[in-house]
Amino acid sequence: MAAKKNTSDSGSGVYLKKSPVLKSTRGAVGETWWSKRFVRALEDISDSPRLSRGKRYARNGSVTSIRYQAGVVQAKVRGSMRTPYDVTITFRDYDSDEWESVIDGMAGQAIIAARLLSGEMPEELEEVFTSAGLSLFPRSDDDIVTTCSCPDWANPCKHIAAVYYILAEWFDENPFFLFGLRGMGREEVLEALRKRRSAVAVAGTDVPAEGVVEDAVCAHPAFSPEDYLRNFWKAGSDLDLFEFRFYDEPVPAIRRLGSAPFTLGGKDLSERLLPVYPVARKYALGLTDMEKDR
C-alpha cells in the first residue's frame, strides 16, 4: 500500500512507498513502453546476474521502503544482515540549457505537446531527447550514481537492482517521475510547454511572440479582444495533425494528474470530475464510430 505524503514529482514533493512488491510475478517487468524501455536500458549497461537476483528480491518483498524526492531515490533493502541496507540512486540531471532544447523540441511537434499536456507519455518523446543530444533513459554508468551500504563491490549489487525494478513498475503509474530524475518536475515541464505552445499560437496569428504571452492582448493593442473572439472557432494549422487515441488504462488520466489546486463544494475538483471521464470516453468513442460510418 502506498503511503503518500505528496504525489508531486517536483523538487519539494515527497513520494513514499512502504514494502513495495512487484506486481509482475514472472518474466518481464513493466507494462508501459517507458517502463519497458527503462528496464532495457538498465540491462544494457548493468551486470545481468545481479539484475536477475535483484528482480527476485523485488518480488519477494526484500525492498522495505522506497522514497523519491528532488530527483533522488532512497530505499531500504533487506539482505543477509538483520538491518536493511541503505540504497541511494541519483540520475544525472540536465541543466537549464539542455532542458530548453528538449522543451523546444516538444513544443515543435503539436501531437507530442498535446499528449504531454493531457497527461500522456508519447513514445515519440524519446526522439525529442535524442535530437537534443540527450536521453530520457540511462545510456551509460555515467548517467547514474548509486550507493549501497552492503559489502558487495559490484554496481549494481542485487539490492540496487531490486530498487531499479521497483522503480520500473512505479513509472507505469507515474511516468513524469522520469522527468524529475532528469532535473525538472512535471509541473515545471508542462508550464514551460504551455508557454511555448502559446507563443506558437500567438505567432500564428501574426502577433509577435515577444514578452509575456499571457498579456499578448495588452502588449499588442492592434490585435483587439474582438479579433480573438472572431477567430476563436477557426481551425488552426495544428488541427490537421490532431488525432484521437483511446487507451484501456486502469488509472484514469485525471488521477495521474494528481490533486487539483482547488476544490468545489469542499471536495477536490479532480474527484468531482472523475465520474465524468467514463461518460465522456463513451461519447467520444460513439463519435469515432459515426465518422467511420460516413
Main-chain phi, psi angles of 240, to 5 degrees = -65, -25
pLDDT in tens, 190-207: 888 888 877 655 555 443
pLDDT in tens, 113-154: 888 887 788 889 999 999 999 999 998 888 899 999 999 888
129-132: long-range contacts (C-beta < 8 A, 24 or more apart)?
129/102, 129/105, 131/105, 132/98, 132/101, 132/102, 132/105
3-state secondary structure of 229: helix
Q: Which of 132, 125, 223, 216 is nearest to 179 (CA)?
A: 125
Query: If you average pLDDT over every residue of the chain, what do you get?
Result: 78
Highest mean pLDDT among 23-32, 94-103, 247-256: 94-103
14/190 Cα distance (integer angstroms): 19
pLDDT at 8 (0 to 100):
39
pLDDT at 90 (0 to 100):
92
Residue 233 near residue 248 (C-beta atoms within 8 A): no
Question: Which of the two residues, 21 and 204, has the higher pLDDT score?
Answer: 21
Name the pTM for this structure.
Answer: 0.64
Residue 42 near residue 146 (C-beta atoms within 8 A): no
154/157 Cα distance (integer angstroms): 5
pLDDT at 289 (0 to 100):
66
